[in-house]
Structures are given as structure tokens and as C-alpha cells.
Amino acid sequence: MRKGRVEGKVIVVTGAAQGIGFACARMLAEEGASVVVADMREAEGEAAAARIESEGGKARFIRTDVASESDCCGLMDETARVFGRIDGLLNNAGWFPRGTLEETTTELWEKIQQVNLRGPFYCCKHAVRHLRAAGGGSILNVGSINGIQGLPNLVAYAAAKGGLLAMTRTLAGALAQDRIRVNYLIPGWVLTEGEVALHAKNGVTLEALTKAGESLALGRHQNAEDSAYAAVYLLSDESAQVSGAVLNVDAGGSTLPIQPGAPYVV
């Protein structure tokens, strides 16, 4: 039964064409929000919004490359024009190619920062005037355990997600006077389309990845819906007094030492 935990809210979800972003957008719509599916891939984004609508939700696709400030500004203005307001922003779009220190070229470093750190900065910057106009709201940044704990082959990504955590804490303080909350969600290890494709490039099959889940804390991979439940909470009024928080949806994986040669290090 639909509980309406975000009934009437207008929520922008970046990177919502697939994976964690799609699961969040879909669950937010199920819970009564009007959602904007923002993604740089047009056909996939249109299809995601159409699927949510076919299931009875309210959704609209707006093509956005979060690395572009004018796209992010246009995304927020267009959302407010179409739906009349913005109550929530889920900064989910991300890109996570592997690379050790010496493998990471300046070009790769820049591209990773653009999507994972500069994108959320642009989206926050251009959402804030609309959130303020709505009397307050909630921003949720999708981070990673790499923002806190080291993995040797994710140097640029870790720097971006660590920066995003620092920005989350800074904005939580800076925007509190506007009744805007800002939080950080850690999804654990999720076998999304993006994650599976990345491992496939390195010759790691879905079967091997799935098997690796058995050795994780609590015995399985996290799934996109595990994160979506947390996102609904942090974008709803149930979390009205939660800001500057980090919510780990990783089965406690971050409490365990990194095992050299573990599958997620691939």
C-alpha cells in the first residue's frame, strides 16, 4: 500500500536513468513525489521516466550533463517551471573508473572530479534558490565508502567522494538557516549496470561478482532498493532533524579491514 512518505514533494534525481538513481526515483514516485529523472543519456532517461509514469508515478525526464553548469542551472529552473517548486535534490550521478596513483592521468582525474564533485556542486548551487523559495528542503549526496576509507585503485574517485563528504558537512551548516538539510548516503557495493560493465571490462563476470557477495558482511551485495529506502527517509520530513549525517547502507562493510585482493579491489 502506498504510504505517501514524500507526498506532494518535487524531487530532482540525477543519474536516474538506471542503477541506484532509477531505484530511488521510482521509490520516491511510489511514495507520492513528482520526480525529475535527470541524466545525460536521453533515450535511457526518457524510458526510465516513462516506466515510472506507467506504474502510476509522476515523472519527467530532463536531459542534463552534471559536468555542465548551464545544464544544472537549466535543470533546476525547468523543474520549478514544470512542477512549480523544488523540495529535494538527490545528487546521484557518478562515474567510477578504477585507477591507482600512477595510472591516473590528469585528464582522467579532471573527468572524475567533474562528474562526481563538480556536478553536485553545480546542482546544489542552482537548486538552493528554489529550495529556499519552497521554505526549505533536503539535499542528499550519494557518496561512497571510498570517501572515508582507502582503496588503492580508486584514487581520483576517493578524492571526489571525500570532497563531497566535506561539502555535505559544510553545506549542512551553511544552509541550516534556510531550513535546507544536507546528508551523505553510502550505498555499499551494488551490482548496478555501471558497476557490472566496469568489471566486465576487466574480465570479471557477473557470476564471479555474485559469488563474491557471499563473502561480504551480512552475506550479500547491497541492492539499489536498499539505498532507495534510505533516500526516501532522508528526503522525507521523517528526517526533519537530520542534517550533516552519513548513512551507511553497507551492512557494516566499512567497519571491516580492506582485504588485499578482495573482489571490490579489482
Nearest residue to ligand NAD by CB is: 194
Residue 194 lies near ligand NAD (rule: CB under 6 A): yes
Part of the chain binding ligand NAD (CB under 6 A), chosen from 58-66, 131-139, 169-177, 209-217: 58-66
State which of residues 88, 94, 162, 253 lies at the interface with ligand NAD (CB under 6 A).
94
Residue 163 lies near ligand NAD (rule: CB under 6 A): no
Nearer to ligand NAD, 76 or 142 (CB): 142
Give the residue numbers marked as catalytic. Answer: 157
Length of the chain: 266
Residue 253 lies near ligand NAD (rule: CB under 6 A): no
Chain CA centroid to CA 256, Å: 23
Residue 112 lies near ligand NAD (rule: CB under 6 A): no
Residue 18 lies near ligand NAD (rule: CB under 6 A): yes
Q: Of 113-152, which residues contact ligand NAD (CB under 6 A)?
A: 115, 119, 142, 144
Least separation in angstroms between CB 19 and ligand NAD: 2
Distance CA 172, CA 107 (A): 31
Least separation in angstroms between CB 96 and ligand NAD: 5
Residue 226 lies near ligand NAD (rule: CB under 6 A): no
Chain residues in the site for ligand NAD (CB under 6 A): 14-15, 17-21, 39-41, 64-67, 92-96, 115, 119, 142, 144, 187, 189-190, 192-195
